[in-house]
A and B are shown apart, each in its own frame.
Chain A
């Protein structure tokens, strides 16, 4: 492990932390344009974070240490996830620590802590949000795993860097199974990141909110960390998607000098701009589903991923 790889690893994580709010700001801006509203500035999420960090925390009287720990744990897991995902380069020392299955596990840990924290104060909204979020989670997790299984079967490895290396080795060969998997992945991404059609990040409508219901009791620096980690989560999901389906530009092992890294960062930014706009378009075009339509939606995603798997096995056989 050379010092250079460690620098690269840290650089990637810091890049992720820094530009995750930017992605959310970009999506909000695109959404506003698509909906013919005047858009907030691109830096709005950063201003929000700055404001929140300066405020005093108002903590519920009964809040337990679990409640106060959770924002830090959420942030920690998401930062760690960013360290595992090859967003810029594949030669990451940390990627050997946890493969993609462990990555799903990390997301699940974050979700479990967030739901537990939501139940901690004992308000009606908190436990409702926790219940709904766990429901979305247990439906989305198998679908995501099936999407990843498609990629695992193609590359023979569960480590994301290896998946990227395998697909960049012959870049013009697109396996038909990946088309199914990609659609399923986008559906899961929308559900897991509290986006329309499952949840609406822009409202606080009591009866329909999921993510917002869970973080109602958080304020100031706690809320800032929660928001930042959900920005990071979206960024991470986007990068998983790029690694699986659009790996072009990521600096691979052996070819990751300064120039390649620069190209990789620019490619990442370009992909994020396009993906953010696409996400905003999807969100603007679709309506929010009733909560009990969510299982059907996620079952569709799951079946698409399974179809991809079957297509792969049939064609491979």
Chain B
């Protein structure tokens, strides 16, 4: 028997117990979390031992899910002897959950490795407690993906929200962070209520809350749509879909960087998972207008996020808005998939869904990478404001190089991974004219234009992000003492950067993983038969792309040109002061600031923003320029709601006189009323 047979047989044997093994890894995370409490203040123990172990568990989980995606396609179900007496917890592993567990494991491994080098004592919550919250957060996200009944789903969903709330507020002595945490908790619960109501609708009168029962429930068109809209609201609030996005730019910057990375990279994807589970698996996609609604919301979120990201001056807020943009792109893909599926075009639905899934995976890689890079920058400089950074490529070459890969990937540039998913999505837009609805098939191709604009804006945003932080001159003298990340942080960043490159040059791997999902959800996969280095999702004659050969081509031409220039010409070089049109008094303050770089966007998309500007007068001795940009939706939607709630609470508060006699009177009146009612 050849070694290859052996391995495959062994893998097959292993794959029959995938679910139980995955649960062991989840349990491992919980144990690691509790172990953190043994020595809560020993950074050496918590950071250098527990977090790397968590990373290993993440890798193991990713490996198992990957094996499951390749080998077994039959769902595995387990009933856990936990929970309420008549309501045991159900868990289930199918290709959809395996895909998202793969994402969680890959990104989680990188983030945990980085966190091992990142967390230090004296910053808010004690490391041991942080370790507990962190691993509970990880485990609850994994369980959200595995849960197979509404009851268990809600329990772990809430655990996820609460553990992340505590992580966000780990530096709770700062008032802004407390505010951000409160807003996050509030939005998380508004979303959770919608999801709970959605499950209430989905059970369809059977009062069976397992997903299996919901799959079989027959809903009238009205209730099916109600369930869909509730799910869209609930999961949209978690994912940061506009207009439910307000918590995202507050909470992401407030959290420590590994936590921001985890929230943005993984937690938002649990909402994507939930939406897919409900729309495709439980509701079986019924109406085309669901897709159109989702598409419209997604495109708007994408454009909105990109525009706002372009004008941010805080590096983590910028990334948070960029997350809104990417979530918008994912929702665009899902909306297209629903639309195609409802119009009985399963191949194109599979293409759009593949794009959405791969973009989820990609986003979890590059967004985590960039958030972690901002963490390194933050530790090295104590600055979060873009206006006080600059020139760090010379002080932090490791972080700068790895962040460059993330920057190019998120900007959607070939041959990295961000381009693959955007390419797939644009390909699926090409087929929208085939939708059998007049006008719709004319309007939706314009969505491709919005998507193209968003992608191009994303490149603008990321050039700004990278250029202002890492390139140019130091904007503050203290930056000259910035230090590079330590080796654990570098490993974490390098792992994620490796993922970005690997999916970029070998897109077929991601395509096959997503193909397993579309195979179960839609019964259709895109064309998976091309070799490993290229993809041709519909047919090779239609369109194909190969990242590996593209990369090899660029590297080959660059290397050849370099050698040729050296041989034919020469390599002489001398270092001098910059030319700068002969201007000798150049200072670091003359570079474009973050505000300056965002100025064209402010100019062009003015109606999107609420702007407050203080312009100095010409005679001012110490002129100060200030521009403050606010989200219009905050004042038009959120503040009126807040005021309404306040007014309602005030009105109810009138009842509370604070005197015993009044409360006795209430009791008496209630009794009278009840008596009247009964008699």
Contacts and interface: CB of A to CB of B under 8 A. Distances in A.
Contacts of B541: 157, 159, 162
Interface in B549-569: 549-550, 553-555, 557-558, 561-562, 565, 568-569
Interface string A92-105: 00101111011001
Per DSSP, chain A at the interface is helix
A316 B576 CA distance: 62
A135 B460 contact: yes
A131 B596 contact: yes
Interface in A122-166: 122-128, 130-132, 134-135, 137-139, 141-142, 145-146, 149, 152-153, 156-159, 162
Contacts of B586: 123-124
B268 interface: no
A58 B578 CA distance: 9
A60 B408 contact: no
A131 B600 contact: yes
B413 interface: yes
A121 B577 CA distance: 10
A146 B452 CA distance: 9
Contact of B433 (A108, A138, A153): A153
Contact of B460 (A61, A97, A123, A134): A134
Interface string B578-605: 1111010010101110001101100110
Contacts of A158: 427, 430, 542-543
A309 B596 CA distance: 36
Interface in A19-74: 53-54, 56-62, 64, 66, 69, 72-73
A113 B555 CA distance: 15
A58 B456 CA distance: 33
18 contacts: A58-B573, A61-B576, A64-B394, A69-B558, A72-B561, A77-B554, A97-B546, A101-B426, A102-B545, A119-B471, A122-B391, A122-B472, A123-B591, A130-B592, A156-B542, A157-B542, A204-B581, A219-B579
B179 to A, nearest CB: 33
A221 interface: yes
A80 B557 contact: yes
Q: Across the A-B interface, give the 10 residue pairs with the lowest CB-CB distance, nearest first.
A: A122-B472, A122-B473, A127-B592, A138-B456, A119-B467, A142-B452, A141-B456, A60-B578, A76-B557, A57-B573
A199 B627 CA distance: 29
Interface string B264-287: 000000000000000000000000
B408 A76 contact: no
A123 B583 CA distance: 10
B520 to A, nearest CB: 28
Contact of A115 (B455, B467, B554, B561): B467
A194 interface: no
B590 A73 contact: no
**In this complex, which of A76, A79, A302 has the most chain B Cβ atoms within 10 angstroms of its Cβ?**
A76
A158 B428 CA distance: 11
Nearest to B473: A122
B449 A145 contact: yes
A126 B580 CA distance: 8
A5 B92 CA distance: 52
A216 B580 contact: yes
Nearest to A68: B573
Given A60-B576, A142-B453, A217-B578, A112 B472 contact: no
Contacts of A121: 472, 578, 580
Contacts of B519: none
B227 interface: no
A159 B449 contact: no
Interface string B402-423: 0010001001111000010001
A61 to B, nearest CB: 5
Given A66-B393, A109-B413, A116 B419 contact: no
Interface string B455-483: 11101101110111001110000000000
A128 B427 CA distance: 35
A56 B574 contact: yes
Contacts of B411: 108, 112
A99 B412 CA distance: 15
Interface size class of A (residues with CB under 8 A): 35 or more
Given A62-B473, A64-B393, A138-B453, A108 B427 contact: no
Given A57-B573, A108-B456, 18 more contacts: A58-B579, A60-B576, A61-B575, A64-B471, A66-B393, A80-B553, A96-B540, A96-B544, A98-B545, A99-B544, A105-B412, A108-B411, A108-B412, A123-B580, A138-B459, A141-B455, A157-B543, A159-B542
A98 B467 contact: no
Contacts of A108: 411-413, 456, 459
B445 interface: yes
Contacts of A316: 433
Contacts of B457: 138
A310 interface: yes
A295 interface: yes
Given A142-B453, A310-B442, A53 B569 contact: yes
Contact of B430 (A72, A127, A152): A152
Contacts of B390: 122
A75 interface: yes
A89 interface: no
A156 B568 CA distance: 45
A120 interface: yes
A313 interface: yes
Contacts of B613: none
From A75, A112, A204, name the one whose CB has the most chain B CB atoms within 10 angstroms: A112
A63 B592 CA distance: 17
Contacts of B78: none
A225 interface: yes
Contact of A59 (B464, B467, B574, B590): B574
Interface string B426-453: 1100100100001001100110110011
Contact of A72 (B467, B558, B572): B558
Q: Which of B423, B442, B467, B570 has the most CB of A within 10 A?
A: B467
Nearest to A58: B576
B534 interface: yes
Contact of A127 (B414, B467, B549): B467
Nearest to B446: A306
